[in-house]
A and B are shown apart, each in its own frame.
Chain A
Amino acid sequence: MTLLDIKNVTISFGGLTAIDDLNFHVEEGEIVSVIGPNGAGKTTFFNLITGLASPDHGQINFEGESIIGLDPNEITARGIGRTFQNVRLFPQMTILENVMVAQHCRTSQKIWGPLFRTKAYKEEEALIRKNAEEVLGFFGPRLIGYRLHQPAFVLSYANRRRLEIARAMATQPRLLMLDEPVAGMNPMETAELTQLIGKLRSEWGFTIVIIEHDMRLVRDVSDRVVVLDHGVTIAQGSYDHVSTHPDVIEAYLGRSAGDK
């Protein structure tokens, strides 16, 4: 079943076309990587799907329904969770709170629950707590135990990335969108996260879209790779297919060699 289906989407900012007539789809249970040189429109693409930007025209359907015009929170509630390229945690909230707050759209207690400490409220809080610890436990012992009550900003860079993934997981999405999940990580950490991404699908059942520059990760996890350049898909298919595609090689080599 097609989970996410994007048809003929175009968006431009002040004359600059960031995404040009793009078609894209994700099947349920797939892991798709989106790659492309810097400025290819990858993050704009994520923002379009998660409602931070509205397309000029085109269609975006999730589970067969249009999500254009929905607020970001409504899209999250429909089942799309994301991380940000430049890690945006709630730095002063504790690690536990960061993950608890992400379950907002899956829970419902409002005023009366907390004020009268109703049974439903206590049960929901306990459930939120349980879910949070479970999600954090996915990354091993790093984010649990005494860490639970530490503010998020004390974490190392790699752990912040992990916490951000945990926070996206806690929104209980069907589609998980990771924006450069291993940027800034060392090879060991990258290898570990590569494994975990596999588990996210096999154990947690998420469908995953990844933006990534690290080609080893892309090679190891993706079912399919889509290459964007100047807002246009220039190639898609298996990693091997894409990595030898002449347009892709040109897009990368035609630019700064410094690109990973």
Chain B
Amino acid sequence: MTATQRKPQKVWKTNNWVDLFLTAIRIGAMAFIGVGLLAFVLEQAGGEGLTGGAIRGLFVTGISQGAMYGLIALGYSMVYGVLGFINFAHGEVFMAGAMSGWITSTILFENGMWEGEAKFVLALLIVLVIAVIVSTLATILIERVAYRPLRESPRLIPLITSIGVSFFMQNAVLGLFGPASKTLPAPPPWMSAEYTFLRIEGTKILVLVIAAVSMAGLWVFVERTKTGKAMRAVAEDKEIAALMGIDVNRTIVTTFAVGGAMAGVAGVLWGLLFRGVSALTGFLPGIKAFTAAVIGGVGNLGGSMAGGLLLGLVESVAPLVILKPLGIPAVSQLKDAVAFAVLVLILLFKPTGLFGERLAAEDRA
């Protein structure tokens, strides 16, 4: 063995069957994807694949969904950075925003605000502000009731609690507002027209613009304000931050609140895009946003947004590009399975996430 090896090779050992098995699984997964891609390329070359328009459509859909995943992922990422646990109920905070969006937009629609250009923009602003307030309040309440008393507990305890909160909120909303899916009023016609040379639907442009603006706002808040600095300090080391005179409690609440606000925005966007929300709206986007956070590296805000976009793209493109060429029928049914598979694959190759967090040995639970 040379003395300069950075990562020493593992010596052959008795329990290696687990590693062998893992390697086999990895190779199998790679082979599956590889064969799928190859089949796709062959199909395209043979001229019976997707048309350019179809591919463009997939990309646009993927990116606009991904933007929402990214917005939700920010909340996971920030809370994980500060408290080190996955706030499983974050998807439900998003759902609360979406539900409030349904109520306010319906009321505004009934009062004739959901049409025209200036009026619609104003109405949209109102809806957004209220959704942000609702989501922020919801997340602050959750933090206060369920997480704060558990701050010193073993790591899995708050995680289990957050699963309970998520389950509770889903079913509470189900009970309060009934099980039927709620339909949001249709946006004015100019919103559904297609714009630019890419022929993107107006609503999708709107989603991307709002997401970009919120993201920029968040970036300014975290990087440029005193509170943002405090948040980063607390994420780095709570004790030392406290010694530096930072109010750790308040900073943690702020972190939750900001994450909640982003989820609220995402909730409204979801409503605009799909025009249907229900108590179960939060579950899948929540898990997918977590996946996005893992892709981008938890704690890394820009990464979360990028991870969201990437996941949205993969989820939209992969079924048609990898699964369909393999001869699997009705691939759109497997869209969600693909999103979960992305999570599994990433952690299959990097068990601590794509950017592998730095954790002290003591903290490795």
Contact = CB atoms under 8 A, between A and B. Distances in A.
Whether A and B are associated in the same complex: the answer reads yes
Interface stretch (A50-58, A180-188, A211-219): A50-58
B176 interface: no
A8 interface: yes
Contacts of A58: 3
B10 A69 contact: yes
B11 A66 contact: yes
6 closest pairs, A vs B, by CB? A69-B8, A68-B8, A57-B3, A69-B10, A57-B4, A69-B11
A33 B212 CA distance: 61
A68 B2 CA distance: 12
Given A70-B13, A74-B13, A59 B3 contact: yes
A68 B1 contact: yes
Nearest to B14: A74
Contact of B1 (A52, A54, A59, A74): A59
Contacts of A8: 3
B6 interface: yes
21 contacts: A8-B3, A54-B7, A54-B8, A55-B8, A56-B6, A57-B5, A57-B6, A58-B3, A59-B1, A59-B3, A66-B1, A66-B11, A68-B1, A68-B8, A68-B11, A69-B8, A69-B10, A69-B11, A70-B10, A70-B13, A71-B13
A55 B5 CA distance: 9
A70 B11 contact: yes
Interface in B1-31: 1, 3-11, 13
A60 B13 CA distance: 17
B54 interface: no
B361 A69 contact: no
Nearest to A70: B11
Contacts of B10: 69-70
Nearest to A73: B15
Nearest to A65: B11
A74 B9 CA distance: 15
A69 B3 contact: no
Nearest to B11: A69
Interface string A122-154: 000000000000000000000000000000000
B6 A69 contact: no
Nearest to B2: A57
A20 B4 CA distance: 14
A58 to B, nearest CB: 6
A14 to B, nearest CB: 8
A69 B9 contact: yes
A239 B180 CA distance: 81
Given A59-B1, A66-B1, A74-B13, 18 more contacts: A8-B3, A52-B361, A54-B8, A55-B8, A56-B6, A57-B3, A57-B4, A57-B5, A58-B3, A66-B11, A68-B1, A68-B8, A68-B11, A69-B10, A69-B11, A70-B11, A70-B13, A71-B13
Contacts of B1: 59, 66, 68
A59 to B, nearest CB: 7
Contacts of B4: 57
Nearest to A7: B3
Nearest to B1: A66
A59 B5 CA distance: 11
B87 to A, nearest CB: 28
Contacts of A57: 3-6
Contacts of A56: 6
A74 B15 CA distance: 10
Contacts of B3: 8, 57-59
A56 B8 CA distance: 8
B4 to A, nearest CB: 5
Interface in B159-174: none
Nearest to A57: B3
B287 to A, nearest CB: 32
Residue among B3, B9, B361 having the largest count of chain A Cβ atoms under 10 Å: B3
Nearest to B9: A69
Nearest to A53: B361
A22 B13 CA distance: 27
